[in-house]
Amino acid sequence: MTIPTVGIIGSGFSGICAAIKVKKQLGITARIFEVSEDLGGTWNHNTYPGCACDVDSHVYSFSFAKNPNWTEKFSSSPEIKEYIRDVAKRFNVYNDIQFKTHVVRATWLESENKWKLDWTQDGMPIETSYFDYIFSGLGPLRVPHIPDKFKAFEGTVVHTSKWDSSIDFTNKRVAVIGTGASAIQAIPHLVKVAATLDTYQRTNSWIIDRYQMRFSRFVKFLFTYLPFTMFLYRAFFFFLWEYLYTLMGYPNSRTSKMISRYIRYRMIKRLTNKGRGDLVPVLVPDYAIGCKRGALSDDYLETLCAENVRINRVPIKNIVGRTIITEDGRISEYDIVCLATGFKTTSILGDLQVTGRNSLSLNKLWETSYPKTYKSVGIHGFPNFFMLAGPASILGHSSVVFMIEQQVKLAINSIKYAQKHDLVAMEPTAEAQDKFINELLEDLKDTAWSSGCDSWYKNERGEIFALWSGTATSFWWKLRRTNYTDDYIKYGKTECTERP
């Protein structure tokens, strides 16, 4: 039996997971293309002060590579990146990564039933490689959203995902644009050195107590030499995070209302404890918890109470020189503008052009219509193409690493099915894909995510495209019950046996 070839685009959690499982379960050494100079995906690019995960470290890690030595309950970006590196080396896939390589195009060749990848490394001329299977591990948090109006600012501008550690914020007048996770994490650190800091908020965020803690040497000892204790710890917090789905999935339930009241109470309490009850109507949101992704922080609200911090909720009208002019006529001058404006999450493929069967462009298809997938992994019209951490797979309450593992399992099982039945390619049927999407959209209707606010979970048409509608456990069950016989179009050695 001919061993198929596998190409993987990206070396974050998705790409590394796929490479490890392909090697371990199929005996295939995949070729990994990484555009950056190092692995880690979003954890390689996001290095702003305070950058950390908002899910427990022991849950936000691979089930097959548990780490007893996490230093904190919520790990920092450098520690997560180091974990990914250690895992890649431990499972012998690190040397399979081709760094500084930009994949320009992925084209399905129907005459050969292969994927053609055009790529360029470190600015050199474009080269071409051919693969039987492709995994897209690009991830949604990759292309920074930089509003055009800030290009006119004549001072220093830095985006949190493109952090420049050489910028000195000491005694500077700083404006932070945005109120997402990066702003919530960075502001408490920037305030310590800045002369003044103004935060420009379009909408505020629900802030939940983080309760950060460091793991003692004794706990690490237990996790290392009594791994069952680490398994129990991981399982407990996995299901605790699962329980939080109640907030988003059943916003009108008694449990959800009780938790929501407590979170609101804690936000008000923290502000009034600092003597800033006047900030309650400014900072406590009025939309359903979970509609937008909330944030964990032990010091963000307290920081906004500082004397050198000013909160601005009035929209920005114009940028002139080093000044920001708001719609109420206020003119404020700054030395540095920090853009915590998130990512272009609808640009799932970025500048990678993907062309499938019958010259169908995935980029144009998803730009003009809802980004349909089959169980978040396969795409009708794109044989042997596996999407990881893309549409319908992101969670609003728990670890995306768990979701990635389930996606990779489905992809591996698809390849095994093809090998067993002497197939060269498979793709989901249009009917199976439509059924999955229709059920997904129906399940999303009564959730907090559909309650009306704007969030990065939605596209320009207001459609929720990024999220899985249920718990992580239900995702596992959905993918586990895949019907490879009825839900896929099969391609034989010479032609498609069920070509539509």
Residue-level pLDDT at 346:
79
Contact 452, 203 (CB under 8 A): no
CATH classification of the domain holding 460: 3.50.50.60
Tell which of 320, 339, 358 closes a domain.
339
> In this structure, are 258 and 357 located in the same domain?
no
Query: Do 159 and 121 share a structural domain?
Result: no
Do 118 and 134 lie in a common domain? yes
Same domain for 349 and 312: no
216 domain-assigned: no
Whether 180 and 321 share a structural domain: yes
Residue 226 lies in a domain: no
Residue 500 clears pLDDT 70, i.e. is over it: no
Q: Say if 219 falls within a structural domain.
A: no
Query: Token match 């207001």: residue?
Result: 462
This prediction has a pTM of: 0.95
Tell me if 132 sits within 8 A of 28, measured CB to CB: no
Domain shared by 371 and 387, yes or no = yes
The predicted model gives 236-241 an average pLDDT of: 96
Summarize pLDDT for 270-317 with one digit per residue, the tens. Answer: 999 999 999 999 999 999 998 988 899 999 999 999 999 999 999 999
Percent of the chain scored above 70 by pLDDT?
A: 98
Residue with tokens 């400014």: 282
Instruction: Give tens-digit pLDDT for 120-175.
Output: 998 899 999 999 999 999 988 778 889 999 999 999 999 999 999 999 999 999 99
- Domain annotation covers residue 496: no
For 136, 203, 301, the CA distances from 188, given in Å and listed in that order, are: 35, 19, 9
Mean pLDDT across the chain:
95
Residue 187 Cα to chain centre, angstroms:
21
Query: Do 353 and 485 reside in the same domain of the chain?
Result: yes
Least-confidence region, from 56-60, 242-246, 451-455: 451-455
Residue (of 57, 63, 94, 59) closest to 79 by Cα position? 57
Residue ranges making up the domain that contains 180: 148-206+252-287+292-339
49 has pLDDT over 70: yes
Does any domain span residue 439?
A: yes
Tell me, yes or no, whether 139 and 153 share the same domain: no
Domain boundary residue among 339, 373, 401?
Answer: 339
Residues 359 and 466 in one domain: yes
305 and 365 in one domain? no
221 in any annotated domain:
no
Do 152 and 261 fall into the same domain? yes
Has residue 451 been placed in a domain? yes
The number of folded domains in the chain is 2
Both 116 and 165 in one domain: the answer is no
Between CA 436 and CA 427 the distance in angstroms is 14
Pick from 339, 366, 400: which residue ends a domain?
339
pLDDT above 90 as % of the chain: 90
Domain assignment of residue 497, yes or no: no
Would the pLDDT of 499 be above 60? no
